[in-house]
């Protein structure tokens, strides 16, 4: 298929690496296609001194990219699926979900420590209330330090700001070829990942069948199903990705979905799991959210809502 396709993305090294992967995959499928990558600076990239929790985080890394898509300046937006707001802008749809990278979080420590072997009172950097709450649940003695910036910036700050460790998504570390820096992989039993973590979400304009046909080969149905279940769970709880909750789905013959809601200090934890058919991921996500709501999830989420709303 010939023609031109403009891919919009954030300008970070990781975002550009991810979008290059998308471009290369599309060129392999459509050799005659002229593909242009267009970096776009988002509010989240500009407001590096403001914590995601304080700013609210909703759409912080996608707003300007979605505007470019709606205005016709780009044809496809390439996002980390975990950054997508639970409700897309009117007129936009998710046209493909990539094969998911490893969805786990990882610990990167200066002295090679693991989570349980970090010194008492160790300083651990993260921008995520979800990670903060789960880390404090396991190690209430840790001193959590807000840490913003792209992955390469965070790695520099690990040394420059005297941190003992930081926690980031494994997917970004692997995509940048920095896996050797990982000192511990944090399994879901320790740190449940954010909804969509590890997958790329390709966003297009509703009704643009040309774009949908072009990117269709990049869609990975099992990953799309898992992400749909996780996003439905978060959406039903009325929360964005920058509060202390998490969801993780594994897809085989059925879907196994885990969800957790925590107080920011990690002292209150509501966790549950459900299994359901592959063809109704959203219904499974809603059902699991309802179970946690019945256990008091709304009250627990309200503890972090004032922080996130400022």
Which residue numbers are catalytic? 83
- Block residue for tokens 């592959």: 278
DSSP annotation string for 180-216: GG-SEEE-TTT-PPPTTTT-EEEEEETT-HHHHHHHG
- Block residue for tokens 């008492």: 120
DSSP structural state of residue 127? S
> In terms of Cα–Cα distance, which of 22, 92, 96, 20 is closest to 63?
92
> In terms of Cα–Cα distance, which of 216, 233, 219 is closest to 274?
233
Q: Residues of 223-241 as b/e, b for ≥16 C-beta within 10 angstroms?
A: bbbbbbbbbbbbbbbebbb
Phi-psi region at 296: left, alpha or beta (left = phi > 0; alpha = psi -120 to 50): left
CB atoms under 10 Å from CB of 169, counted, come to 24
**What's CA 196's distance to the chain center, in Å?**
5
> What are phi and psi for residue 235, nearest 5 degrees?
-60, -40
- Block residue for tokens 């979800």: 130
Taking CA atoms, 296 is separated from 31, 88, 106, 137, 260, in Å, by 53, 27, 29, 18, 12
> Considering all CA atoms of the chain, what is the largest pairwise distance in Å, rounded to the nearest integer?
60
């Amino acid at each position: 298929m010939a023609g031109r396709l403009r891919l919009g993305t954030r300008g970070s090294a990781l975002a550009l690496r991810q979008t290059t992967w998308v471009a290369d995959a599309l060129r392999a499928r459509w050799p005659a296609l002229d593909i242009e990558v267009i970096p776009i600076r988002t509010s989240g990239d500009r407001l590096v001194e403001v914590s995601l929790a304080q700013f609210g985080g909703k759409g912080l890394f996608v707003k300007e990219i979605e505007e470019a898509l709606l205005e016709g300046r780009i044809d496809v937006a390439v996002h980390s699926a975990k950054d997508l707001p639970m409700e897309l802008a009117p007129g936009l749809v998710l046209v493909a979900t990539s094969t998911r990278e490893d969805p786990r979080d990882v610990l990167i420590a200066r002295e090679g420590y693991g989570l349980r072997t970090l010194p008492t009172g160790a300083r651990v950097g993260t921008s995520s209330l979800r990670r903060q709450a789960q880390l404090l649940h396991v190690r209430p003695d840790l001193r959590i330090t807000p840490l913003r910036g792209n992955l390469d910036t965070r790695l520099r700050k690990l040394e420059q700001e005297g941190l003992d460790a930081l926690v980031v998504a494994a997917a970004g570390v692997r995509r940048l070829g920095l896996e050797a820096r990982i000192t511990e992989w944090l399994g879901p039993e320790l740190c449940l990942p954010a909804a969509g973590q590890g997958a790329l979400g390709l966003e297009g304009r509703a009704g643009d069948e040309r774009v949908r046909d072009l990117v269709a080969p990049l869609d990975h149905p099992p990953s799309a199903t898992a992400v749909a279940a996780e996003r439905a769970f978060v959406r039903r709880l009325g929360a964005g990705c920058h509060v202390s909750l998490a969801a993780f789905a594994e897809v085989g013959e059925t879907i196994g979905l885990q969800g957790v809601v925590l107080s920011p200090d990690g002292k209150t934890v509501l966790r549950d799991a459900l299994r359901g058919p592959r063809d109704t991921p959203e219904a499974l996500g809603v059902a699991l959210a309802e179970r946690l709501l019945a256990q008091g999830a709304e009250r627990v989420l309200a503890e972090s809502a004032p922080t996130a709303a400022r």
